[in-house]
Amino acid sequence: MKKLLLVFIFIYSSIGLSQEHAWVYLTDKPNSSSALANPNSILTQKALDRKAAHNVAVDFRDVPVDESYITAIKSQPGVSVMAKSKWFNALHVVGDPADINALSTVTVNGNIIVSSIDFADDNLNTRTSQNQDKHEVEASLTTFNYGSAANQIEMINGDDLHQHPDSYTGTGMTIAVLDAGFPDVDTMNGFQRLRDAGGILGGYDFVDRTSDVYIYQGNSHGTWVLSDMAGFIQDQFVGTAPDANYYLFRTENAASETPLEESLWVEAAERADSLGVDVINSSLGYTTYDNPNYSYTPADMDGNTAYITKGANIAFEKGILVVNSAGNSGGGSWQIVGAPADAAGVFSVGAVKPDGTYASFSSQGNSTQPTQKPDVVAQGQASYVILNNDTITTLNGTSFSAPILAGGIVCLWQALPTLSNAEIMQLVRESASQYNAPDNLLGYGIPDLSIALAQGLSIVEFQNQNTTLKIYPNPVKNQLTFEIPSQYEQASVKIYDILGKKVIETTVTSMQQNINTATLAKGVYLVKIEANDLSLTKKIIKN
């Protein structure tokens, strides 16, 4: 794993190369019907409320992996189960390749329970598989006195949300922070305000399987990242979402560089979903591993190959807004955005200097990537953070631009709770400094959350006042129909993919209500309808 502080720290694997990593995909979930009939048995009420608010269905992927299947796999010789995923109905195992392949014959109640096995080392697969990539931890109310943190929040106009008459500071919103550990968060003065407010809802160390996330594991990266959202030192430092609630999940093992951390990340994302988390902030990235047989190539950063990338896309489908650092490879041979920031459903954040110009270490987009990356940028060079001893200092890395913006996005969503994750992402893109001319260095540019809020409020007003507007069918196949309110003669329609690329622009009227969508690829799209001074954005699914 790479960590960008002021320098890069390279980590070496502690797991012997004789032990291989693999994902074991299971055939079914025997009790899925009863679980789905009683969703409160598998999800918290907050999770169900969040899904209902954003029209996200509870489905097979929400059902936990069957415990009898896990027990059966654990009982097999030469294999250790390291992680599990309900979204993929899969187990991450480590062991001898022959023993792992033997799992294909494991049965429960006379039925084969393994549908396929996918080795991290693609050379061991008998078919083309999805390899893993190296994760990289990047480190390079009242009127607030932001102190040292002023420039990084004012750059995105996040302070305007804080100072809004309704005080959008993250209240009622929940963020899961996935990182390498959070030592001293339970004792630091910089988090006293957060603790006093009961803002830390819980945490879990998925690496060591313990609820204590505050143990020092040779790395304080998560503590620094959290400070940019939740830190507070009177008149010296204010994070971008000081009144949000937080779950702290350790998924990164700073002492090793193995594919397991991808699986732990997915486990944590699943936990976040079940707890009703709104936003995930992850300053982790995966490209290459200590064992080169597990490493990705730049061509694998295609938004759908890495296990963690596919997991992040499911998190998006579940209604979570995933904010991930783009990476710190801009000045190296790798150069491009890594996983999971390559995912179409992830809002990836690059880095700029304090003056708003490109930071040379920030990972870049690439023409071979299917979507615009990074999405946007925020201050990541000379970003202010709170260290474990409560000292305020500067560090470099997209590790910090991501949480700085994530906190701001949380405040925006607090102000616009009826909008979906995709709609919030699109608002932020459209507010950015170079939305009409994105590039591979800055993406759509530096967001202006004040503009995003104003636009979002007009969308909500339009939703509330014009209930007769209809868009159907949704999901759509070949033709989308619009019924616009009678007071409008015509409306402009623009359709964007989830990364903000405009794919259709046209006009509908009471006489011409239909748009041909047959040429659109399957996926999630945003439809923006504008009539006179009003606008509305809706999410549709193309089948």
How many other C-beta atoms can be found within 10 angstroms of the C-beta atom of residue 477? 12
3-state secondary structure of 69: helix
Quote the longest CA-to-CA distance of the chain: 71
> Which of these, 473, 491, 485, 459, lies nearest to 540 by C-alpha position?
473
List the beta strands (DSSP E) in 217-296. 232-233, 237-238, 245-250, 279-282, 284-286
**What Rg, from alpha-carbon coordinates, does the chain have?**
23
d(CA 362, CA 441): 8
List the beta strands (DSSP E) in 139-188. 174-179
> Which of these, 421, 454, 419, lies nearest to 537 by C-alpha position?
419
> Which of these, 405, 345, 358, lies nearest to 225 by C-alpha position?
405
d(CA 179, CA 200): 15
Query: Residue 384 — left, alpha, or beta (φ > 0 → left; ψ -120 to 50 → alpha)?
Result: beta
For residues 485, 488, 489, 491, the Cα torsion angle rounded to the nearest 10 degrees is -90
Structure tokens at 358: 């490109």
Catalytic site positions: 179, 221, 399
For residue 236, report the phi and psi dihedrals to the nearest 5 degrees.
Answer: -125, -30
Distance from the Cα of residue 15 to its chain's centroid: 28
**Pairing between strand 107-108 and 200-205?**
unpaired
For residue 210, report the phi and psi dihedrals to the nearest 5 degrees.
Answer: -145, 155
Q: At what angle do helices 421-431 and 398-415 cross, to 10 degrees?
A: 110
d(CA 397, CA 152): 13
Examine residue 374 and say whether the peptide bond preceding it is cis (omega within 30 degrees of 0).
yes
Structure tokens at 114: 């393994």
> Which of these, 496, 362, 355, lies nearest to 439 by C-alpha position?
362
> Which of these, 343, 342, 380, lies nearest to 360 by C-alpha position?
380
Structure tokens at 45: 């009420």
Structure tokens at 434: 């170079």
Q: What share of the chain is helix, strand, coil (3-state, %, to 5)?
A: 25, 25, 45
d(CA 343, CA 329): 17
Query: H/E element holding 50?
Result: helix 45-53
In angstroms, the Cα distances linking 346 to 29, 194, 338, 395, 540 are 28, 27, 11, 24, 18
